[in-house]
Structure 1
Amino acid sequence: MRKMRLFTIADFKEEEEWLEEMHRSGWKLIGMTPPCFFYFARCRPEEVVYQLDFRNRRDGYGSAYLQMFRDCGWEYVDSCMSFHYFRKPAALMEEEEEIFSDNVSRADLLGRIWKWRMMPVFFVFFGCLLPQIWQGVLGNVSRDMIFYLSCGILFLYLWIIFHVGMKFFRMKRLLRQDLH
């Protein structure tokens, strides 16, 4: 079965919860296709914990990375756009076991996501999109389809930056509160 569901990079916790709910309903994740297609296979409904890790190729991942998770009982499912999907039956979980077991590693995860996903958005926004719109506003260029398309993309980027930025800000604040 294929399902379409859009999650932003800041929605990885919601994505994990949705995958767990799908598994409880008898559908286990078998793969993804960017940006928002999830593939499921019929399975026995059970409580399974899904966890995502963000690891860019430059951060290093490979057989040793995957073996580390297997050694801890996690099953590797698939990777999509540097997010790696793991699952483990809830019955095998030891207390509050998570891939990121402390706030330092959680903050490191947020930092990696911000660096590899949001910094390129800022580059495109400030380096390409704003100058294009500024030229259309100040110049004698007629307001053609390109101008209006650029304005539409501008508002999309602003929404992404605001939505993701607010979620990251809340997550970082919660991590700081837990440290004190």
Structure 2
Amino acid sequence: MARRKTKIKFFTIADYEEEERWLEEEHRNGWRLVKLIPPVFFIFEETKPEDYIYKLDYKNKEMPNDYFQMFKDYGWEYCGYSLGWNHFRKAASQVRAEEEGEIFSDDESKLDMIKYLMLTRLLPLLIIFFAVLVPGIGRLRLTEGFIVILSFIIYVLAGVLYIYVFVRVGLRLWQMRNKINNKS
């Protein structure tokens, strides 16, 4: 049995291209992705160092068999699923034209995925923020002791972190969307 290693790495939903490049680099270094354990565990198996292309497709739901068959028909190997992302790979030697190294046939498909990411991941986070964190801060009174002050500090820190992540991810997705729109 080949040696295995587990790596812990965190990627936001807007970092999927960086995740693809990281997986490609691991494969070039002789480590092939064999399993994903959400949210941050990647299990690799030692293999011959080869040039592979990794691509991620966000679906956030169970897909029918014909979805996977379509990828297989185009030479893509399914690697696994994690938090809405389907991971695929293909040997770079199988790619003869640039579009064969892409899972999206056109810019419109990429735009659809980014829009879907925004609707299914960012919008719910925004709703949770306004439904839970904002009212929670408003309900706390600073005059009722240490626990209330500590709770207030935790709420504020969580709110600041939440806003930072939301803005960072939202801006990255927006920039990706604009880059594709300007290319067309």
Q: TM-score range by the shorter chain?
A: over 0.9
Q: Aligned partners of 2:69, 2:144: CA distance in 1, in Å?
A: 57
Q: Match for residue 149 of structure 1?
A: 154
Q: Match for residue 64 of structure 1?
A: 66
Structure 2 residue ranges without an equivalent (≥5):
none
Offset of residue 37 of structure 1? 1.0
Of all paired residues, the percent bearing the same amino acid is: 36
Q: Match for residue 83 of structure 2?
A: 81
Q: Secondary structure at the match of 1:144?
A: helix
Counterpart among 157, 177, 180 of residue 172 in structure 1:
177
Q: Match for residue 139 of structure 2?
A: 135
Greater shift, 109-118 or 9-18, is seen at 109-118
Q: Aligned partners of 2:36, 2:161: CA distance in 1, in Å?
A: 24
Q: Secondary structure at the match of 2:71?
A: helix
Q: Aligned partners of 1:74, 1:141: CA distance in 2, in Å?
A: 60
Q: Aligned partners of 1:21, 1:141: CA distance in 2, in Å?
A: 54
Letter in 2 for 1:120: P
Number of equivalent positions: 176
Correspondence 1:19 to 2:5: no
Offset of residue 121 of structure 1? 0.6
Correspondence 1:158 to 2:163: yes
Offset of residue 101 of structure 1? 2.6
Q: TM-score, normalised by structure 2?
A: 0.90
Q: Match for residue 93 of structure 1?
A: 95
Q: Aligned partners of 1:170, 1:101: CA distance in 2, in Å?
A: 20
Letter in 1 for 2:104: F
Query: Which whole-Å deviations, capped at 9, do the CAs of 1:124-145 have from their partners, x for residues lacking one?
Result: 10111111112226x7555333
Query: Which whole-Å deviations, capped at 9, do the CAs of 1:14-70 have from their partners, x for residues lacking one?
Result: 00000000000000111111221111000110000000000122xx61211111100
Query: Which whole-Å deviations, capped at 9, do the CAs of 1:121-168 have from their partners, x for residues lacking one?
Result: 10110111111112226x755533322221121111111111101101
Correspondence 1:8 to 2:31: no
Q: TM-score, normalised by structure 1?
A: 0.92
Letter in 1 for 2:38: P
Letter in 1 for 2:91: P
Q: Secondary structure at the match of 1:28?
A: strand
Q: Match for residue 37 of structure 1?
A: 41
Q: Aligned partners of 1:133, 1:94: CA distance in 2, in Å?
A: 57
Greater shift, 92-101 or 42-51, is seen at 92-101
Offset of residue 175 of structure 1? 0.9
Correspondence 1:52 to 2:92: no
Q: Aligned partners of 1:20, 1:149: CA distance in 2, in Å?
A: 39
Q: Secondary structure at the match of 1:73?
A: coil
RMSD of equivalent CA atoms: 1.4
